[in-house]
């Protein structure tokens, strides 16, 4: 047992096996930076990155986690999860995960991959699986404090920085919070009566306290006050957790690190003769702020397991009063605009935002492409009641009601959301839904039906989803059928959906079927996904005579293959094809519009195609060193006249290396390039970036991390030639104390 635990911790066995359909690839990481590299090299998408990042921070308690909590772990099938639960029940608990491998419950390589996410042992004197599964004994009072900052050489002001903490005061009580110093956020937005518009002070360094919480959690009771995340069922009625199978509440203390520079000046001329951003000022960039998601903030409580008859009840209630930022072009003044759908009416355009001056009558500039902080608040009340017949069968009811209050309204400015914004315009909105699950043997079936209610002309719409899985040790199939009405405007629905949007929401105006398979045959690991869906659009692009609507069929297919050549070599292949309108095969379409080329207003409709292929090679000669490389080629419809008869071609490549010369020192380096449109140096991005990083563990209590990053735009566009700094040199510093 000791030898096996050592082997697991060291990570000597690197082979892939069957894995769940959650995250798109076999996830094998040690720390957060490994996840970031997977995301940057496009091996996982943003949703998977955020989910795994939060899962890594929060951990999964192996002794008490239920079926859905265990299924969130990467690389596990439902068959694996059910085997873990059966073993835990028979053995009376799990004190060492290596026992699962000895008993044949989980393969060695899967245990290596999930070890960094695990908390093992009882809650009293529990142990946490740390780096590569290392067990760290938890004291009566334990926790961590982390400071981080990023500086770009040449900045003339102090950089943004973040300080986060998480303290476990007892086996059930936990406190935490995060403080951020920002530089690029403009001041509070307020009503400007002299201009019948809005105004805000210029950006400046300022402290923010976006995350704070207190938590009390036992196997039967869960209470959170502060910032939290919550979700249920198939994520169709209410979910903001980013998890694949949510059920309950979780603390929210996450601060995010941005990898892109921020424009130092985002102003237009307004009442001035010339924009303050004219010339060099408009091409100057600086280090980005640390950022955070604005989810729910208030009080949430849950009775997790109340014995009733042969099963048990689950009861949750929550309330939230959260401030939200908003992209400035997502507003309109409803006092001047009768119908926000009328894009030809200039009165329905977004409300101007002026820079605040000490003298309100002094001519001033307007802001452009800004996110307006704390522009509105949402007040939400909701709850969930579910009855569980077993850990694989339940029926539940979820509902919520939300109200919006605007911080900058005045006598002649009453703000509301544009129709293409994520939140529905027209006042309060709600949703109520019923979900259920049933499982027997290798088969599980999940379903949810929801009705949304809002103040828009249609008053809301219906949505439904049914998902089924068939799982064995080496294979897992998943099928999902879904229907989201065009009037289903529920911003808190995050179910399985196609990667397009209708009026700001993915789960809207869509009926589709998605099939997934993942499994192992010998040394080959397969992952395949096919998705087809129907949506509506105008038959003609003529704004004066758009014509009747028609059904448009879209399709997406992915195939991933990994081959375990031996214990240290694993090549792989990835292919993806997407078509937003299978009836239109012309090249004079767009698949996606670059953010840099978007004008203020509603995003354009695209119906083009994309084909991308990638080859990957991973080498790990021993537990102290690894090297992986990936090359990708993409054909994509651009929409520009130059590509009316052909695809635009893009290439990209990444290489990542890690070496651990001693147990407490970890060295890491990455180099990558992205060349969009390989035929021209004057269109689209051409970027090279590389970094070197050292992480040092001092006395098993202090983590010190230092990174240098080089970032250069290589294209010859006028904006790139005038860009400063280019290249940019980044220095990132982190210090974390664990006690």
Look at residue 127 and tell me whether its pLDDT is greater than 80.
no
Q: Region 574-595: what's the mean pLDDT?
A: 84
Please report the pLDDT score of residue 599 as a whole number. Answer: 54
Rounded Cα distance between 526 and 22, Å, is 14
Residue 700: which pLDDT band, with cuts at 50, 70 and 90?
Answer: confident
Residue 673 CA, chain-centre distance (Å), reads: 23
Rounded Cα distance between 729 and 725, Å, is 8
Residue 231: which pLDDT band, with cuts at 50, 70 and 90?
Answer: very high
Partners of 200 in the β-ladder:
189, 355
Look at residue 540 and tell me whether its pLDDT is greater than 60.
no
SS (H, E, C) 108-151: HHHHHHHHHHEEECCCCCCEEECHHHCEEECCCCEEEEEEEEEE
Look at residue 124 and tell me whether its pLDDT is greater than 70.
no
Please say whether the beta carbons of 104 and 79 come within 8 A: no
Q: Is the peptide bond before 725 cis (omega within 30 degrees of 0)?
A: yes
Per mean pLDDT, which range of 355-359, 472-476, 527-531 is the poorest?
472-476
Residue-by-residue DSSP string for 578-620: EES-TT---SS-BS---GGGPPSSSPPP---EEEEEEEEEEEE
Look at residue 381 and tell me whether its pLDDT is greater than 60.
yes
Please say whether the beta carbons of 505 and 486 come within 8 A: no
Q: Region 272-282: what's the mean pLDDT?
A: 88
In the chain, pLDDT over 90 holds for what percent of residues?
59
Q: Region 233-257: what's the mean pLDDT?
A: 91
H or E stretch at 641? none
Tokens of 35: 């996840």
Q: Region 372-392: what's the mean pLDDT?
A: 96
**DSSP one-letter code for 256:** B
Look at residue 733 and tell me whether its pLDDT is greater than 60.
yes
The radius of gyration of the chain from alpha carbons, rounded to an integer in Å, stands at 26
- From 554, 550, 680, 534, select the one nearest 608 (Cα to Cα): 554
Residue 594: which pLDDT band, with cuts at 50, 70 and 90?
Answer: low
- Which of the two residues, 640 and 444, has the higher pLDDT score? 444
Tokens of 51: 């989910």
Q: Region 575-597: what's the mean pLDDT?
A: 80
In the chain, pLDDT over 70 holds for what percent of residues?
91
Residue 360 CA, chain-centre distance (Å), reads: 41
Rounded Cα distance between 485 and 493, Å, is 13
Residue 606 burial (C-beta neighbours within 10 Å; 0-12, 13-18, 19+)? middle
Please report the pLDDT score of residue 229 as a whole number. Answer: 95
H or E stretch at 34? helix 32-40
Rounded Cα distance between 179 and 174, Å, is 17
351 to 66, 272, 701: CA distances (angstroms): 49, 18, 51
Per mean pLDDT, which range of 17-31, 126-140, 299-313, 622-636 is the poorest?
126-140
Residue 272: which pLDDT band, with cuts at 50, 70 and 90?
Answer: very high
Rounded Cα distance between 204 and 558, Å, is 45
Please say whether the beta carbons of 710 and 690 come within 8 A: yes
Rounded Cα distance between 594 and 597, Å, is 6
Tokens of 278: 């004219």
Look at residue 6 and tell me whether its pLDDT is greater than 50.
no
Residue 547: which pLDDT band, with cuts at 50, 70 and 90?
Answer: low
- Choose the most confident range, by mean pLDDT, from 85-99, 299-313, 632-646: 299-313
Expressed in angstroms, the distance from the first to the final Cα of the chain is 28
Instruction: Render pLDDT for 102-119 as a digit per residue (tens, 0 to 9).
Output: 888 888 878 888 888 887
Instruction: Render pLDDT for 658-687 as a digit per residue (tens, 0 to 9).
Output: 999 998 999 999 999 999 999 999 999 999
**DSSP one-letter code for 348:** G
Please say whether the beta carbons of 434 and 449 come within 8 A: yes
Residue 221: which pLDDT band, with cuts at 50, 70 and 90?
Answer: very high
Please report the pLDDT score of residue 295 as a whole number. Answer: 92
Q: Regarding beta strands 686-698 and 429-440, do their DSSP bridges make them parallel or antiparallel, or are they unpaired?
A: unpaired
Partners of 514 in the β-ladder:
480, 531
Kindly tell me the number of DSSP H helices and DSSP E strands found in the chain: 8, 38
Mean pLDDT of the chain: 87
**DSSP one-letter code for 154:** T
Please report the pLDDT score of residue 601 as a whole number. Answer: 65
Q: Region 357-372: what's the mean pLDDT?
A: 92
Residue 215: which pLDDT band, with cuts at 50, 70 and 90?
Answer: very high
567 to 28, 112, 477, 573, 659: CA distances (angstroms): 15, 14, 27, 18, 18
Residue 16: which pLDDT band, with cuts at 50, 70 and 90?
Answer: very low
Rounded Cα distance between 134 and 664, Å, is 12
Please report the pLDDT score of residue 210 as a whole number. Answer: 96
Q: Region 617-630: what's the mean pLDDT?
A: 90
Look at residue 1 and tell me whether its pLDDT is greater than 80.
no
User: pTM value?
Assistant: 0.87
Please report the pLDDT score of residue 500 as a whole number. Answer: 86
Look at residue 22 and tell me whether its pLDDT is greater than 90.
no
Residue 546: which pLDDT band, with cuts at 50, 70 and 90?
Answer: low
Please report the pLDDT score of residue 602 as a whole number. Answer: 66
Q: What angle do CA 426, 429, 430 make, to 5 degrees?
A: 160
Please report the pLDDT score of residue 70 as a whole number. Answer: 87
């Amino acid at each position: 047992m000791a030898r096996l635990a050592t082997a697991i911790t060291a990570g000597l066995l690197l082979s892939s096996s069957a894995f769940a359909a959650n995250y798109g690839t076999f996830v094998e990481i040690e720390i957060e930076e490994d996840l970031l590299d997977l995301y940057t090299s496009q091996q996982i998408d943003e949703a998977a990155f955020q989910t795994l990042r939060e899962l890594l921070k929060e951990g999964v308690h192996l002794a008490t986690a239920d079926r859905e909590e265990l299924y969130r772990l990467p690389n596990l099938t439902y068959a694996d999860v059910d085997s873990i639960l059966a073993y835990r029940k028979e053995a009376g608990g799990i004190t060492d995960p290596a026992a699962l491998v000895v008993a044949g419950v989980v393969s060695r390589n899967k245990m290596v991959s999930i070890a960094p996410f695990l908390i093992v042992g009882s809650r009293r004197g529990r142990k946490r699986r740390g780096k590569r599964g290392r067990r760290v004994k938890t004291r009566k009072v334990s926790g961590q404090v982390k400071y981080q900052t990023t500086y770009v050489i040449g900045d003339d002001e102090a950089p943004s920085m973040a300080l986060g903490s998480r303290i476990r005061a007892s086996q059930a009580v936990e406190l935490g919070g995060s403080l951020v110093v920002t530089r690029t956020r403009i001041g509070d937005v307020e009503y400007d009566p002299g201009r019948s518009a809005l105004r805000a002070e210029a950006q400046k360094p300022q402290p923010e306290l976006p995350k704070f919480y207190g938590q009390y959690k036992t196997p039967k009771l869960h209470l959170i006050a502060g910032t939290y995340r919550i979700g249920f069922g198939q994520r169709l009625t209410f979910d903001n957790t980013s998890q694949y199978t949510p059920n309950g509440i979780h603390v929210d203390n996450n601060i995010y690190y941005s990898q892109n520079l921020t424009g130092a000046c985002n102003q237009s001329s307004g009442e001035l003769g010339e924009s303050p951003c004219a010339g060099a000022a408009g091409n100057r960039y600086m280090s980005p702020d640390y950022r955070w998601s604005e989810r729910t903030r208030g009080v949430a409580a849950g009775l997790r397991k109340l014995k009733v008859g042969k099963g048990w009840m689950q009861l949750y209630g929550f309330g939230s009063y959260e401030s939200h930022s908003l992209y400035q072009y997502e507003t309109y003044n409803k006092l001047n605009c009768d119908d926000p759908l009328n894009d030809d009416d200039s009165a329905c355009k977004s409300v101007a935002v002026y820079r605040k001056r000490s003298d309100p009558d002094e001519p001033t500039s307007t802001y452009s492409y800004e996110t307006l902080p704390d522009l509105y608040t949402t007040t939400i009340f909701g709850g969930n009641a579910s009855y569980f017949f077993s850990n694989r069968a339940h029926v539940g009811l979820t509902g919520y009601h939300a109200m919006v209050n605007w911080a900058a309204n005045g006598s002649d400015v009453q703000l509301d959301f544009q129709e293409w914004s994520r939140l529905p315009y027209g006042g309060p909105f709600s949703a109520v839904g019923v979900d259920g699950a049933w499982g027997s043997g290798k088969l599980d079936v999940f379903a949810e039906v929801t009705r949304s209610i809002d103040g828009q002309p249609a008053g809301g719409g219906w949505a439904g989803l049914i998902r089924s899985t068939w799982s064995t040790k080496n294979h897992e199939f998943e099928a999902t059928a879904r229907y989201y009405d065009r009037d289903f405007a529920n911003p808190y629905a995050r179910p399985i959906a196609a990667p397009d949007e209708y009026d700001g929401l993915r789960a809207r105006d869509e009926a589709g079927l998605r099939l997934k398979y993942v499994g192992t045959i010998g040394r080959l690991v397969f992952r395949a996904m096919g998705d087809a869906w129907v949506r509506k659009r105008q038959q003609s692009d003529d704004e004066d005579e758009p014509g009747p609507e028609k059904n448009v069929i879209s399709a997406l297919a992915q195939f991933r293959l990994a081959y375990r050549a031996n214990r240290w070599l694993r090549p792989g292949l990835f292919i993806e094809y997407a078509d937003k309108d299978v009836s239109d095969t012309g090249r004079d379409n767009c698949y996606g519009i670059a953010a840099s080329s978007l004008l203020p207003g509603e995003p354009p409709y695209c119906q083009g195609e994309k084909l991308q292929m990638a080859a990957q090679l991973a080498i790990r000669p021993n537990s102290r060193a690894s090297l992986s490389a990936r090359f990708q080629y993409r054909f994509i419809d651009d929409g520009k006249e130059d590509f009316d008869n052909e695809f635009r071609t893009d290439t990209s490549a990444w290489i990542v290396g890690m070496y651990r010369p001693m147990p407490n020192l970890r060295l890491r380096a990455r180099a990558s390039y992205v060349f969009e449109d390989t035929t021209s140096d004057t269109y689209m991005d051409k970027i090279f970036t590389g970094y070197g990083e050292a992480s040092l563990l001092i006395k098993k209590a202090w983590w010190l991390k230092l990174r240098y990053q080089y970032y250069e735009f290589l294209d010859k566009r006028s904006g790139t030639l005038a860009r400063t700094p280019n290249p940019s040199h980044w220095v990132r510093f982190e210090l974390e104390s664990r006690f």
